[in-house]
Structure 1
Amino acid sequence: MLKILIAGGFGVGKTTTVGAISEIEPVSTEEYLTQASAPTDSLDGVETKKTTTVAFDFGRISFGAPTPMELMLFGTPGQDRFVESLWYDLARGAVGAVVMADTRRLETSFDAVTFCERARLPFIVAVNEFDDAHRYPVHDVRQAIALAPHIPVVAFDARVSTAVATVLLRLVDHALTQTTPRPVKRSDPTLLDAR
């Protein structure tokens, strides 16, 4: 059984990703957006968004070949205010993370990339190809996020289970080639540094 973090900014499709692949009914903590969150949850670029994850999403998927494997998926909330209080706990014991990106708002992926780098958590960047988003070459996305050359960048559609499966297997493959990550500790001050 492997634990995987699905991370990224507000509205990049983390809940959709977990829901598209989970073989169980996903656990979701989606709540409706209200006027109270307007000062902190910018809807720029995602004006039609009506709900947001307030704790985490959870799903499970099993793969049978070539080696049986069960993945436990934990989707993070996307708002900055949850990074300190929740991401540390969700990352504990994870073999790696899928950092989701939206090319319309690429800056929303920066915090998740920084978190994974500082936590030494193996990760890949998965560009969710929204219908109205421009398609950029992987090299351009890598350069815009300032990723190290060894970090895989893939494009996919978070609504399509086979596409999500490909992303998850790519992460597992990448994580297996990396050194063993150190445990994520809440008290590590380097995890709070801005990018």
Structure 2
Amino acid sequence: MVFRDSETLASSQEPASLKILIAGGFGSGKTTLVGSVSEVRPFRTEESLSDRSVGVDSTAGVEAKRTTTVAMDFGRITLSPRLALYLFGTPGQDRFWFMWDELTRGALGAVVLADTRRLPDSFPVIDHFEQRGTPFVVAVNCFDGAPRYLPEEVSDALELSPSVPVVLCDARDRESTKYVLTTLVTHVLTAKAHAH
């Protein structure tokens, strides 16, 4: 399967397959987001949290979490007859970040899924994409009972460039997830158009 970059997409009349990364801190909802929108049964690599993860995976703020992704999640959504997105959910723990460079290769862009209960977890994820020049949007997953903030407040807290879109979402909701993905594709295409 060949993933196209945004320049090829803009000039091609053939259907395009685009690779999108879904990244974020531990427990931010990446697996849920991929599962909510995938039109194929998502491939998941979740395992139950065990005693071995005590002291390694902090569950502060997400104490009810019982599983963790140990490789990646994968799903697909067709946005139009000309555009299919292939979603790769990254593992959130820093001990798996060695995989991120390979996953980033060939990606159109990324969704950084943020959790307001653990907002500092977003900084290393954002740094990763900024250092590699990978376009991204920040999607704030609005967990039940979590503090609520305006997108502008999250942008300020994460010290984002004004050009980086921040949207609120519910990773459990298909339409909300589709909006996040559409925002990313629009952001990338708009940035490429302004660069030329």
Distance 2:109 2:18 in 1: 9
- Deviation of 1:178 (Å): 2.6
Distance 2:31 2:54 in 1: 20
Instruction: For 1:1-195, list aligned pairs within 5 A.
Output: 1-64=17-80, 68-83=82-97, 85-179=98-192
- Deviation of 1:82 (Å): 1.1
Consecutive aligned runs of 4 or more in structure 1 exceeding 3 Å deviation: none
The one-letter code sitting in structure 1 at the alignment partner of 2:75 is G
Where 1:151 maps in the other structure, the secondary structure is: coil
Runs of 5+ in structure 2 lacking a partner? Answer: 1-16
**CA RMSD for the aligned pairs?**
1.1
TM-score, normalising length: structure 1: 0.89
The equivalent of 1:186 in structure 2 is none
The one-letter code sitting in structure 2 at the alignment partner of 1:81 is R
The one-letter code sitting in structure 1 at the alignment partner of 2:92 is G
Task: Give the number of aligned pairs.
Answer: 177
Distance 1:155 1:104 in 2: 14
The one-letter code sitting in structure 2 at the alignment partner of 1:74 is F
String of CA shifts for 1:95-145, please: whole Å, max 9, x gaps: 000001001110111111000100100000000000111210111100100
Distance 1:173 1:162 in 2: 16
Q: What is the identity percentage for the equivalent residue pairs of Structure 1 and Structure 2?
A: 55
Where 1:28 maps in the other structure, the secondary structure is: coil
The one-letter code sitting in structure 2 at the alignment partner of 1:72 is Y
- Deviation of 1:177 (Å): 2.2
Where 2:62 maps in the other structure, the secondary structure is: coil
String of CA shifts for 1:68-109, please: whole Å, max 9, x gaps: 2100000000001111x1111111100000001001110111
